[in-house]
Every structure is written in structure tokens, then in C-alpha cells.
Chain A
């Protein structure tokens, strides 16, 4: 078990009370050989970015169901830029309408996984983007 492993922070920004989706994704990434840091419910964009820096993750995956994605998700992107953490692959999932997803992608989200996305697609997207064997 030597060599680099893909490290992913899975986080829930905002006031959602449900994290089943985030946990399903976290378990899938774990089963694909990644090291997943799960930060739990009710995190602010600041906490998530600070945690990502301390944990030296390669990927941040944010799950959001509350409708406040257009408020919170761009804040994460901005804070990453401000801290010089642009290299981190940023993806999101949850209840996010297509128009909003496009806007988020224009703002620096590599991919937005809406309802019905398969976990295999999420795993493949991360692995292909990082071009990394794990």
C-alpha cells in the first residue's frame, strides 16, 4: 500500500439535515481505493476549504440539497482561489437544476452530478481527471 493515493474531502455545506447521499458517495470512493475525509453536516465554505488545505486533498466533493447551492458553492471556489488551492479538483452533487449546474461549471466546478448519477460515473470521472491509478 505504498505510493500516492487519491485523497478526497466529502463535505456538506450549509444547513442540510440529510447526508445519506454524501455517505453513499464517500463509501463508493473508499471502495475504489481512495482515502475519503468526511467532514459531517453543517459546514461553512470557510471550514471546508480550511479542512481541505490541512488534509492536502486532491478532490473536494460537495453535496447540497437545501437549494442554497448558488450562494454557498461559489464561495468555496473563491476561497480556494484566495488560498492558492486551485489545483484541487472541485465537484458537486445534489438537487441542482441544470441551468445552475452550467453556471457552476462556468465558475470552476469540474462537474455537477445531479439526481440519478451513478457512483461508478463519479469514481470514473475523478480517476480519469486525475489520470491516476489507485
Chain B
């Protein structure tokens, strides 16, 4: 239940508001996505044919690497070239209380706040892949409302949070000279998903060395086609930002020409289906099918936790086969 008084709000009114590009309607639609409102699928469905016009750029990297500052510069640049940017910035929720401190607006230049750039701070609400469950839907609503440059900024990530790769057309990985040595650059995960690598804070020692190490890592890839570019910049000082924007643009053209963009967008749709099915199944099996009680009973009998898990999975599939439904 939404806490505020918005009694006149309906799916139809939000749909009309989104079509008119109203900021208030977009903001509410994203809240519907975040709160899993009963009618959010209906609203999303209304825009099925229009979604896909916007470019989606993912920006990810370790905490404190300058993602927000870089995003601010990107958004300003796109705004200046008559694009219509929207920024979805994800920060972590507390696993203990569910609360969150969303601080990405602090980094925003005033010029962004004073223009018609849409900025939404989102808590990840327990999602562990660097984004929030609602981020993809939020991007769809921005697209529907006429924004054509959508930037998804992840929480500060470690090495394995790579959901952004399937949520964006181009993924920008932002590192700094403090990000580690050549062995870090060779590890799996984050370093595999970049379409453009940025060494930010290039005024610090070691920027050129890290750039070289990333390039060396890329040279070891089995396929040398469409290799990501590696650039250095200082987002705070505005040094090298034009080159970053140009590199993203070049990457888009490469993806379009090679057919990679189409593949990626198809894969994105598939990933979203998988993720939602997985999340919903887990929630329903756990809460509606009484699995928690069964698990507790089996554990109390002294069974090994891993074996209990296998038993539960068998039960779910058995129920599916015999009843066609397990609710």
C-alpha cells in the first residue's frame, strides 16, 4: 500500500502521463515497479511496442571509482547534444533493516538538476547483481516517456556483480589506478563484461600502467574481434570526457554493424524472463508451498542441509508433475 494519498491514480492515468512525458507519472511508474504494484505489468504492456528506442548505457565499477562523477559528465554531454538523458542510479539497501542512503545526487552538477534530465535514485532492495530488480522496468518506463539516453549506474561492485551487462547496450567499466594490478585485470567477472574500459582519476600515478595492463589482458582473449577500447580520463576535471563519449558512440556503431546489438537485446529479454521466473518461483515455493516448515522439520531430524535442499527440489518437481500446480 502506498503511504501517500494518490487515490485518483490508475493504470490509465499513468499511461497517459507517460505518453505525455510527465515527470510525475514517470516517477510513480517507477515506484510501481519497485513496489511490485498489482497493475505494473498492465502498465508495462501498454508500451510493449514502443520500448527499445532508447540507448541504454551501463556504468559499473568498484566503489569510489568516480562512477557518479563520470555519469554526471556523460549526462551533461548528451544533454548538450540535444539528447534526452535519464539516469537510474542504484545504491545498496541495508540487508538488516532494508533502509538505504541514496547519495548519487550529491555528485550531480547543478546544471543537471536544472535541466530536464530525469534522475532517479534506486535502492537495490536485496538484489545482489549490482542493480535492483526494478531497474530494467524503470528503464523501460523512461524509454516509454521519451528519454533516449538511459544511463544505469550500478552500486559499487566487486568482481562478480555483472547484471549490468545484460541490462545495457554498452557497458562501461570504470576503474582507477588504485584498482589493483595486472592479475586483478585478468580475473573473471567484471573484467569480462566491459565494452569500454575507463581508467578514471588519470591524474593519479599508475593510470597509464593500468591502461596498459587492461590492454594486455584484452590481447589474450581468444577472439580479437570487436575488442573494447581502453581510455584514461579525469571525470572530475573534465579531462578526456569527449573521448569517452566518442568511444561509447563508436562502440554502438560497431555493435549495430556487427549484429551484436540485436543479439544483446534478445539476450536481455531472455535474461529478464529467467531472472523474474527464478525470483518469483523462489518466493512462491518458499512462502506459499510451505517449504520452510518442511525444511525445518527435516533439519530437526538431523538431515544434512544440502540433502534437505535436494529433497525439497524433488518434492517441487514431483508436485508439478502430479498436480500441474503446487500452490
Contacts and interface: CB of A to CB of B under 8 A. Distances in A.
B113 A36 contact: no
Interface in A109-134: 130-132, 134
Main secondary structure of the interface of B (DSSP, over half): mixed
B106 A32 contact: no
A42 to B, nearest CB: 8
Interface in B34-77: 35-36
Interface residues of A, number: 41
B99 A4 contact: no
Interface in B1-44: 1-6, 23-24, 26-28, 30-31, 35-36
Interface stretch (A46-54, A68-76, A97-105): A46-54
A38 B3 contact: no
A28 B113 CA distance: 26
Interface in A79-111: 83-85, 87-89
Contacts of B125: 1-2, 5
B99 A35 contact: yes
A16 interface: no
B27 A4 contact: no
Interface centre among B3, B24, B125 (most CB of A within 10 A): B3
Interface of B: 1-6, 23-24, 26-28, 30-31, 35-36, 93-94, 97-103, 105-106, 110, 113-114, 118-121, 123, 125-126, 283
9 contacts: A4-B1, A4-B2, A29-B99, A30-B94, A30-B101, A31-B94, A34-B99, A54-B119, A58-B4
Interface of A: 1-7, 26-27, 29-40, 43, 46-47, 50-51, 53-56, 58, 83-85, 87-89, 130-132, 134
